[in-house]
Amino acid sequence: MSVLSTVVSQFINGLQSGSVYALIALGYSMVYGIIMLLNFAHGDIIMVGAYLVWITMSILGLPPAVGIIAAIVGCALLGVFIEKIAYTPLRKSPRLSLLITAIGVSFFLQNVAQLIMGAGSKTMPTIVSGPNVRLGSVNLSFVAIVTIVVALVSMAVLTILVQKTKMGKAMRAVSEDMGAAQLMGISVNKTISFTFAIGSALAGIGAVLYSCAYPQASPTMGGMLGLKAFVAAVLGGIGSIPGAMIGGFAIGVLEAFVSAVGLSVWKEGVVFAILILVLLIKPTGIMGREIKEKV
């Protein structure tokens, strides 16, 4: 294998993990865009999604399609449920209270999972499988292709949803000015719940894709994954949908190349160094808009 094909392979590795980061980063970004909340429980929703796949497939013995639907629907419902129980009552409170509540929800989900499923990791069944594809001397794994394609399709659908539909218009309106949107007759509560549902459904898709590549589910798996996706969202410009995608792919590819040159031990360090650099140099991220103070 030539150096070039190794570089291409590493790039694809990066795109594969980047796809998952991007899907999760979208959830962070959408929620932040609409209620200015950093939903730190978002990573743990992925963990719940992974366990849902495991339960439907390994315990109930149902086919992968059911597992995938269970993860997506389950995550969406869980997202809305958390929003109703934990965040809605605090909508008028300072943003710090919301942030701390989100961290609390995150711990709650992790510990409940540990209580029910045990602290050890569960091995995921095979969700998708297919032959590896060879392009010249570059080896493309079936899982990598599926992951990247599914992520791109999800993002395309999301973009259409936000830009072309009535609900999307409502989301953008609430994000711009909640009070004014309400005056225009938009149901703010419904719109926020819908945003949580979509963001969490994306996390469900992320959970399925993550489980294909790393077939183990553990109670704390969402922690680091969520943090990296958060860095991706900040890098892309938090609140921006294309920004989250770009940020996710960038972090994934960066990690792949850091590991490839033998610095795998520094992988996480590099990701968080990016967060610090972005916050120092361009806090609004790559695609972020300048926020003008409303007078």
Partner 1 sequence: MKRIIALVLVLVLTLAVVGCGGKDKDSSIKVGLLGCITGDYAQYGVAVFNGAKLYINKVNAEGGINGKKIELIEYDDKGDSTEAVNAFTRMVDNDGITALIGSVLSGASIAVVGEAYPIGMPVISASATAAAFTYNEETDTVYSNAFRVCFIDPFQGEKMAQFAAEKLDAKTAAVIYETGNDYAVGLKDAFVKECAEQGITVVADEGYSKGDKDFRSQLTNIAAKEPDVVFSPNYYEDDGMIVTQARQVGVTATFLGGDGWARVTEYASAADLEGSYYCSSYAASSTDAIKEFEAEYAEAYNGEAPSMFAALGYDAAVVLVDALKAAEAKKLKAGTDDYKAAVIDAMKNTSSVGVTSKYSFDEFNNPIKDAVIIKVENGNEVFAQMF
Return residues touching partner 1 (CB under 8 A). Answer: 1, 5-6, 9-10, 13-14, 16-17, 121, 123, 126, 132, 134, 139, 141-144, 213-216, 221, 224, 255-260, 262, 264-265, 267
The nearer residue to partner 1, 101 or 110, going by C-beta atoms, is 110
Identify which of residues 140 and 173 has a Cβ nearer to partner 1 in the complex. 140
Cα angle for residues 250, 288, 186 (degrees, 5° grid): 120
DSSP class per residue in 64-97: HHHHHHHHHHHHHHHHHHHIIIIIGGGTTS-HHH
Residue type, 89: P
Min CB(4)–partner 1 separation in Å: 11
Cβ at position 15, least distance to partner 1 in Å? 11
CA distance 108 to 49: 15
CB-wise, 134 or 294, nearer to partner 1? 134
Q: For the CA atoms of the chain, what is the radius of gyration?
A: 19
- Comparing CB distances to partner 1, the nearer of 168 and 222 is 222
Q: Round to whole Å and give the CA distance between 74 and 76.
A: 6
Integer Cα distance of 67 and 278 in angstroms = 38
CB of 161 to partner 1, least distance (A): 30
Strand pairing category for 122-123 and 216-217: antiparallel
**In the complex with partner 1, which residue's Cβ is closer, 41 or 143?**
143
Please state, in angstroms and rounded to a whole number, the distance separating the CA atoms of residues 36 and 99. Answer: 10
Distance in Å, CB of 125 to partner 1, minimum: 9
Q: Is 289 helix (H, G, I), strand (E, B) or coil?
A: coil
Shortest distance, CB of residue 33 to partner 1, whole angstroms?
29
Nearer to partner 1, 189 or 259 (CB): 259
Considering the complex, state which of residue 115 and residue 133 has its C-beta at the smaller distance from partner 1.
Answer: 133
Rounded CA separation 23/244 (Å)? 8
CA 157 to chain CA mean position, Å: 15
User: Rounded CA gap, 278 and 291, in Å?
Assistant: 16
CB of 16 to partner 1, least distance (A): 7
Q: C-beta of 132: minimal distance to partner 1 in Å?
A: 6
